[in-house]
């Protein structure tokens, strides 16, 4: 039994030794891929922030607490549409008071222009009537005295007394007439007009305050900034909302200095937003940088792109991803970027020749996110090695594993 176990152990050891020898001589497994042909889109990826191309702000013109909200963020409004209403109780009270004063002032002015106050005019008219009667009586008495004096039946003293009574009656009539005229003198009219103007000015101010209590949209567009709540108190000049036209928006992106040579006006741009996965917005480069500036540890240029926003859902202030398509090469021979390497100051790939790797210099052209255009050095269908744990070198025998 012990001898059998020993034989079995010897056989197992022989198998292990044979397996080790075989694997030691077995070529390493290397992932490979074939060079293909197709359309290569050379892109430059960066990020930026959305802003409107045409916008305006709505601000409070008077102080007051927000009493009513008429819009919310994202709502489309027309020019002049109401955004919020402020409390205007005091303005309404001021207007009612001013309108009452206008009514009173107009009545006073009408009274002055019609010749005076009715009661005063009636009193003067009565006094004038009595004075004229007194004058008529005095004149008759004077005439009678003058006839009697001519007959030596009355004295001169009596005639003079009768004449004085006539003079007094005439004087009283003149005084009453002057009093009547004094009721409609220019000074009274000026005062009445001044009261009316003051009341009308107070009414205009109250109406302006009432109008200013409703904050309206200065332009037509989409409300993209609006943070007010009921009860918020506003001072003159405080921001109510920002409104812009969002059918076409601007995105400012920063491109690293080495990549700026790849960017030109009119290049297609695709925008994505992490908050809306699967959505894309398209546009083009509108403006290239005029200078390079420091951005942290980077040297960058600001590129301005214009993006179509037909759904108006790409809102200003949004941080987005931008892909600038700097070049499109039709029918290009391509290889994965990881297959292309730099060795001994030479760019190349390891090409699989049967089961042996051979170093092949190549000339690259445009680049996408994952591939290089191979302008020379490779043919369509050539198999190239990808990086692995095994150090690649010219003449290495390998076991290819297709990817």
For residue 349, the domain's CATH number is 2.40.420.20
Q: Name the pLDDT band for 118 (thresholds 50, 70, 90).
A: low
pLDDT of residue 20: 47
pLDDT of residue 17: 54
pLDDT of residue 11: 62
Q: Is residue 188 part of a domain?
A: yes
Picking from 103-107, 153-157, 241-245, 385-389, which range would have the lowest pLDDT averaged per residue? Answer: 153-157
Q: Chain-wide mean pLDDT for the chain?
A: 88
Number of domains present in the structure of the chain = 4
pLDDT of residue 22: 47
Check whether residue 255 and residue 312 sit in a common domain: yes
Q: Which residues span the domain enclosing 195?
A: 93-208
Check whether residue 325 and residue 252 sit in a common domain: yes
Residues 320 and 49: their CA atoms lie apart, in Å, by: 6
Q: Is residue 312 part of a domain?
A: yes
Q: Name the pLDDT band for 108 (thresholds 50, 70, 90).
A: confident
Q: Is residue 2 part of a domain?
A: no
Residues 138 and 132: their CA atoms lie apart, in Å, by: 10
| DSSP conformational letter for 94 | H
| Residue 7: other Cβ atoms inside 10 A | 10
User: Can you tell me whether residue 164 is helix, strand or coil?
Assistant: helix
Q: Is residue 155 part of a domain?
A: yes
Sequence-ordered list of residues with C-beta below 8 angstroms from that of 320, at least 6 positions apart, any chain: 47, 48, 49, 50, 251, 271, 272, 273, 314
What average pLDDT does the segment 204-229 reach? 93
What is the domain-level CATH number for residue 280?
2.40.30.170
Q: Please state the separation of Cα 246 from the chain's center in Å.
A: 10
Percent of the chain at pLDDT above 90? 59
What is the domain-level CATH number for residue 82?
2.40.50.100
Residue 196 has pLDDT above 70, yes or no: yes
Q: Is residue 280 part of a domain?
A: yes
What average pLDDT does the segment 184-201 reach? 79
Final residue belonging to a domain, choices 278, 312, 329: 329
Q: Name the pLDDT band for 114 (thresholds 50, 70, 90).
A: low
Check whether residue 282 and residue 362 sit in a common domain: no
Check whether residue 301 and residue 319 sit in a common domain: yes
Final residue belonging to a domain, choices 296, 329, 362: 329
């Amino acid at each position: 039994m012990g001898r059998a176990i020993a034989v079995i152990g010897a056989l197992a050891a022989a198998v292990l030794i044979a397996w080790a020898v075989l694997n030691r001589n077995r070529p390493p497994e290397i992932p490979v891929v074939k060079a293909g042909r197709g359309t290569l889109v050379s892109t430059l990826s960066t990020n930026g922030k959305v802003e409107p191309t045409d916008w305006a702000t709505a601000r409070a013109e008077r102080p007051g607490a927000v009493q009513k909200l008429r819009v919310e963020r994202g709502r489309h409004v027309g020019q002049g549409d109401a955004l919020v209403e402020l409390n205007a109780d005091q303005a309404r009270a001021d207007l009612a008071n001013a309108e009452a004063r206008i009514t009173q002032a107009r009545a006073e002015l009408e009274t002055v222009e019609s010749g005076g106050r009715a009661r005063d005019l009636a009193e003067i008219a009565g006094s004038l009537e009595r004075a004229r009667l007194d004058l008529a009586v005095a004149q008759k008495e004077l005439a009678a005295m003058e006839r009697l004096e001519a007959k030596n039946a009355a004295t001169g003293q009596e005639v003079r007394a009768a004449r004085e009574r006539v003079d007094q009656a005439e004087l009283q009539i003149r005084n009453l007439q002057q009093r009547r005229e004094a009721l409609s003198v220019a000074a009274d009219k000026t005062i009445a007009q001044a009261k009316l103007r003051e009341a009308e000015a107070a009414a205009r101010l109250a109406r302006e305050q009432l109008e200013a209590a409703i904050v309206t949209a200065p332009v037509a567009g989409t409300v993209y900034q609006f943070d007010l709540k009921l009860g918020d108190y506003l001072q003159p000049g405080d921001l109510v909302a920002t409104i812009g036209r969002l059918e076409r928006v601007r995105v400012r992106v920063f491109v690293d200095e080495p990549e700026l040579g790849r960017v030109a006006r009119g290049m297609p741009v695709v925008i994505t937003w992490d908050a809306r996965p699967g959505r894309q917005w398209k546009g083009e480069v509108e403006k290239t940088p005029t200078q390079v500036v420091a951005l942290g540890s980077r040297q960058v240029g600001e590129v301005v792109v214009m993006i179509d926003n037909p759904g108006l859902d790409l809102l200003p202030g949004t941080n987005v991803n931008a892909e600038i398509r700097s070049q499109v090469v039709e029918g290009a021979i391509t290889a994965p970027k990881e297959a292309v390497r730099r060795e001994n100051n030479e760019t190349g790939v390891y090409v699989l020749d049967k089961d042996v790797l051979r170093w092949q210099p190549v000339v690259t052209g445009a680049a996408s996110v994952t591939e290089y255009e191979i302008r020379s050095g490779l043919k369509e269908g050539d198999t190239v090695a990808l990086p692995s744990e095994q150090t690649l070198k010219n003449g290495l025998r390998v076991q290819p594993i297709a990817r």
